[in-house]
Amino acid sequence: MTQKKIVVIGGGVVGLCTAYYLQQEGHQVTVIDKGNLTSGASHVNAGYLTPSHIIPMAAPGMVAKGFRWMFKASSPFYIKPRLNKDLIQWGLKFMRSCTPAHVQGSMQAILDINVLSKQLYLEMQGNENFDFHLETKGLLMAYKTVQAEKEEAEVVVRAKELGLKIEQLDQATLLKKQPHAPMDIAGAFWYESDAHSTPELFMQNLIEVLKGKGVDFILEQAVTQFTTAAETIKSVKTPIQEIKADEVIIASGAWSEPLLKQLGIQLSVQAGKGYRLNVNQATGISLPAILMEAKVAVTPMEGFTRFGGTMELSGINHKINPKRVAAIARAASEYYPEVTITQQEQEAVRCGLRPLSPDGLPFIGRHSKCKNLVLATGHSMMGWSLGPATGKLVAELVSNQKSSLPLGFYAPERKYGFK
């Protein structure tokens, strides 16, 4: 195999995992990031590995919910109304994808890439170069109402058909599993397939491994221009240097759309803002959970408990909405009566921008506009879960190897909505 000079644009979990697997194949890799690798969605997420998340974000009922929630500042899903061409085009594609046929046609592809990614995370955890927090305790889908129970029960039927193990727990049974954090709920579905991690620890560990293996990093420099010839990218420019490349990987998350426009590529990716609150006091929480009605994720991490949530489409910005922060804190106490998130912990909130594709599936693959361009973006709410699998698939593609999974479902130029 020929060693290639490869530029990976984006230093989030997808970009770094891509760099890892490309380096494993013997390529010379340079990672470019406009930040310093200490912030962003890869550092503030729930840390879930989610084979359970078989339903794409684009699903029947989401459009109606979106309109209902649009004018409520504390709602779990919020789109800031604005006349923006890219948002409107994204919205039309999203609506086209919110069909039963799309859900049915996507589930196996979503499951397969999640299962592969979990396997790769576990392989890395067993590698002597790695030392990070990862536990396989499953995931609770906790509900208070009959309506939420009914909605998740429909997902459970589909998940079981795909081979996942799920158990329904009542409040008393759950208390035996998690005795130090009583929950005020009607019950929960426990997906045994899932796992959870502490994102910051993995990211720090992965960066150290990459540097030790000779991966170059160009940090705090945004990509400003591509030099192209004959439908091929020749080099990537930042304000202070130019890097020649045999292959270019776009793993720039929520910033992918404006970057790709420089190459004449229209790719619909909207920034979906999510918030996280860290609770350093002992909560007794030992099992990850999604609080269904509140749409809040709860994760027992290494030394603290994280509460995260909201999906806010308001463009690329890091403005914090106090009402949305308060809604997450309120949900924590409503589901865990013995847990209180202090004002100080609420003020230490951070947010990250998730790259939302219109149909909820990632973009992984080549684009016809450029012969040596590979896209690895648009992972929606599953970026953390899918980082290793995406990196592996990209490395296989670049190295002309047989792919671990069929890439058709993730093709950047796919049509939206199943017939």
- Structure pTM? 0.96
Percent of the chain with pLDDT over 90: 90
pLDDT digits (tens, 9 = 90+) for 309-361: 988 888 999 999 999 999 999 999 999 999 999 999 999 999 999 999 999 99
Which residues are within 8 A (CB) of 321 and not within 5 positions of it... i.e. 6 or more apart? 73, 312
The two beta strands, 195-197 and 48-49, are antiparallel
pLDDT digits (tens, 9 = 90+) for 50-75: 999 999 988 888 777 777 776 676 77
The pLDDT of residue 76 is above 80: no
Across 26-40, 90-104, 180-194, 274-288, least confident range: 90-104
Region of residue 37 (phi > 0: left; psi between -120 and 50: alpha; otherwise: beta): left
Give helix 85-97 / helix 62-69 axis angle, nearest 10°: 140
Across the chain, what does the average pLDDT equal?
A: 95
- pLDDT value of position 418: 57
Q: Which residue matches tokens 């997906």?
A: 191
**Rounded Cα gap, residues 399 and 157, in angstroms:** 39
What is the secondary structure of 223-279 as a DSSP string? --EEEEETTEEEEEE-SS-EEE-SEEEE--GGGHHHHHHTTT-----EEEEEEEEEE
Q: What letter would DSSP give residue 55?
A: S
The pLDDT of residue 133 is above 80: yes
Architecture in CATH for domain 5-410: 3-Layer(bba) Sandwich (3.50)
- pLDDT value of position 419: 46
Question: Residue 419: how many CB atoms within 10 A of its CB?
Answer: 7
Residues pairing with 249 in the sheet: 8, 374
**Rounded Cα gap, residues 390 and 385, in angstroms:** 10
The CA-based diameter of the chain, rounded to the nearest angstrom, is: 66
Q: Give the closest residue to 42 by CA, choosing from 16, 19, 21, 69.
A: 16
In this prediction, residues 13-22 reach a mean pLDDT of 98
In this prediction, residues 295-311 reach a mean pLDDT of 96
In this prediction, residues 162-190 reach a mean pLDDT of 97
Which residues are within 8 A (CB) of 281 and not within 5 positions of it... i.e. 6 or more apart? none
* 3-class SS string, 2-47: CCCEEEEECCCHHHHHHHHHHHHCCCEEEEEECCCCCCCHHHHCCC
Question: Residue 340: how many CB atoms within 10 A of its CB?
Answer: 14
Which residues are within 8 A (CB) of 372 and not within 5 positions of it... i.e. 6 or more apart? 232, 233, 245, 246, 247, 248
Q: Which residue matches tokens 């796992």?
A: 195
Which residues are within 8 A (CB) of 49 and not within 5 positions of it... i.e. 6 or more apart? 114, 117, 118, 121, 134, 194, 195, 196, 197, 384, 385
Question: Residue 226: how many CB atoms within 10 A of its CB?
Answer: 20
